[in-house]
Amino acid sequence: MVFSHIAESYFDEFPFRRKDSRRKSSQYFFLSHAHSDHLSGIKYSLSDPDVIIVCSDETSSVIRFLCNIPKEKCLIVNPNQSLDFDDFIVHAIDANHCVGSLMYVIESKTGLKEIYTGDFRMGDSMRKERDLLQGADQLWLDNTYGADSRFDFPSREEMISQIVTLILSSGNFPERDIWIASYQIGKELLLRTVSQALKVKITASELKERIYKEIGGEWDIFTSEGGTGVYVDSRRVVENLHGISEDNKIKLIEALRISPTGWSLKLRKKAFNVHFFPYSDHCSYSEIQEFINLARAKRINYL
């Protein structure tokens, strides 16, 4: 997606099939998080033993399962850590997006500064790093919802509170199954809170269970064994009942179905009987403005 001229390196892009681009790059490829739209071409990095992928510990666990990238190929940097390369320094900040997500601040030894946000949601991890983030020469900014003031949704904490209240209201859990829509990776704050509030693990695919078990600690909240009464699956399944058996369709129709997505503010036609909440792992309109005001970059490129 981005080539930094300070680091002479790619961020969230692995252009191994384009030889001209590849030649410009150093051996380091920086990965902000493990959503599939940021992993394009990553498997081809295996063909070059000199290539090193810089990412967080959690992201290295995810790409091990999703892309067969061995941990030895990753150089780990975690939030609030810096890596000193000969000509530049890279600082990592928690991007507050999905598990393991980072934004990077790249500084040259000659005083130039670039920021690559990856996908992010404004939060205290960035407010605390005001001095580090301020005055960049170049800012690459996650702009998922564009400059559309309709996407001025509440905080995730507020949304979580509303969703848990709905789940615990009379006649719902445990009387009815709960289905929550999510990508393979993401929406963890909501899912962890639901798991803790109901004191059950969340039924998920075997792959999802393995990924989060590997990450471990507070994120080991999924099981593939079933029978917990709380399920997570894609929006296609939860909203539209796509790709599932007739028996499961009946179960889903009777269940409480929840779709947490910022896009719900703009969906023209909402799936019947699904509860939509504008819960997002990206910045709201106000939060993007807050970040732009905080960074005061000379040039902004919208991702």
Pick 119 or 129: Cβ nearer Zn ion = 119
Judge whether 123 and 97 are in contact, CB under 8 Å. no
Q: How far apart are CA 209 and CA 226, in angstroms?
A: 11
142 contacts Zn ion (rule: CB under 5 A)? no
Choose one: 53-61, 111-119, 121-129, 132-140; the region binding Zn ion (CB under 5 A).
111-119
Interface with Zn ion by CB under 5 A: which range of 29-37, 151-159, 160-168, 189-197?
29-37
d(CA 148, CA 142): 14
Rg (CA), the chain: 20
Q: Which is nearer to Zn ion, 114 or 119 (CB)?
A: 119
According to the binding rule CB under 5 A, does residue 119 interact with Zn ion?
yes
Q: Between residues 35 and 187, which has the closer beta carbon with respect to Zn ion?
A: 35
233 part of the interface to Zn ion, by CB under 5 A: no
In the Cβ-directed half-sphere of 199, how many Cα atoms lie within 13 Å? 1
Q: Does 91 bind Zn ion (CB under 5 A)?
A: no
The amino acid at 210: R
Query: Does residue number 35 form part of the binding site for Zn ion (CB under 5 A)?
Result: yes
Within 10 angstroms of residue 228's Cβ, the number of other Cβ atoms is 19
State phi, psi for 3 to the nearest 5 degrees: -115, 120
β-bridge pairing 74-76 and 52-55: parallel
Q: State which residue, 228 or 261, has the beta carbon closest to Zn ion.
A: 261
**Residue span binding Zn ion (CB under 5 A) among the ranges 9-17, 34-42, 107-115, 251-259:** 34-42
Q: Which residues bind Zn ion (CB under 5 A)?
A: 35, 119
